[in-house]
Chains A and B, each alone.
Chain A
Amino acid sequence: MERAITILQQTVFALGMKVCGNPADAEDTAQETLVRLARSLKNFPNTRVLSVWLYKVAKSQCLMSRRKSKFAPEHMLSLDQLMPQPGHDGDSDAKSWAMTPEEALLQREFRERLEKAIHALPKRYRLILVLRDMEQLDTREVAEVMDISEDTVKMRLHRARVFVRNEVAKYLAHAARQ
């Protein structure tokens, strides 16, 4: 029982941290999700149903989190604004992006910039990036958790990825000039 609670709490807390960005909201998310899970345990015929349900509840809790992040404006991301401008390819140069992702994540400053970029995403995009790329749910599962179409998942995922890429590019270009 103790081990089950620990594993569940760590899973939901980690999700809460990636989405909400602060331990207080992540703790609230974990608590509420586990309590609701305990009341509904008998309703899950298999682990996949349980898993999707857990993510749905955690998502709802994260969206309701009372502590508004100053980095989380709620607006739509426009593809036109995210696209590289004609002739402007300076932030894709090989020197800035020389490190592998594995090497980059070992550097604290890069990790912090990546976290900041993710938390700067509007929540509806951040959730999809976290569920798809970090929690490794497939498109169909993300659509089910978010209650949107798979096409909408793909569209928002791409914009979220490009947004984070652009933020990371600014940091790497600046670091390369140092």
Chain B
Amino acid sequence: MIFAALSEFLDGTLPPRNCRELQKHLSGCDPCLQYLETLKKTIRACQLYQAAPAPPPSTAVREAFIKALSTRPVRRARLRKVG
């Protein structure tokens, strides 16, 4: 199915035979070609999109990280036999 293969085609991961079939279809179908272009632009916009900048690490995050780094497993003391 051509529509389902469009992302793989744009990513360059479509198997060669499927790729040829898709290219053959696109060469004679302007609506599909235009649609493909809009999908390509959407993917590119997502790739370029940057989330809002992160605030500096809060004190809680910093302290929790350092505390976790410095925590060592506590060894249980052996109980002596009383007798």
- Residues of A that sit less than 8 Å from B by CB: 1, 5-6, 9-10, 13-14, 17-18, 23, 26-27, 30-31, 34-39, 41, 79, 83-84, 89, 91-94, 97, 100-102, 104-105, 111, 114-115, 118, 129, 133-134, 136, 139, 154-155, 157-158, 161-162, 164-165, 168-169
On whether the beta carbons of B45 and A105 are closer than 8 Å, the reply is: yes
On whether the beta carbons of A157 and B7 are closer than 8 Å, the reply is: yes
On whether the beta carbons of A93 and B56 are closer than 8 Å, the reply is: no
A-B contact pairs, 15 of them (CB 8 A): A5-B62, A13-B55, A23-B55, A27-B61, A31-B58, A31-B64, A37-B65, A39-B71, A84-B35, A91-B38, A92-B38, A97-B41, A111-B49, A114-B46, A133-B46
Contacts of B48 in A (CB 8 A): 101-102, 105
The DSSP consensus for interface residues of chain B is helix
On whether the beta carbons of A89 and B3 are closer than 8 Å, the reply is: no
A23 to B52, CA, bound (A): 9
Q: A168 and B42 in contact (CB under 8 A), knowing A17-B51, A158-B4?
A: yes
The DSSP consensus for interface residues of chain A is helix
> Ordered nearest first, which 6 A-B pairs have the shortest CB separation?
A38-B68, A13-B54, A158-B7, A17-B51, A101-B45, A165-B42
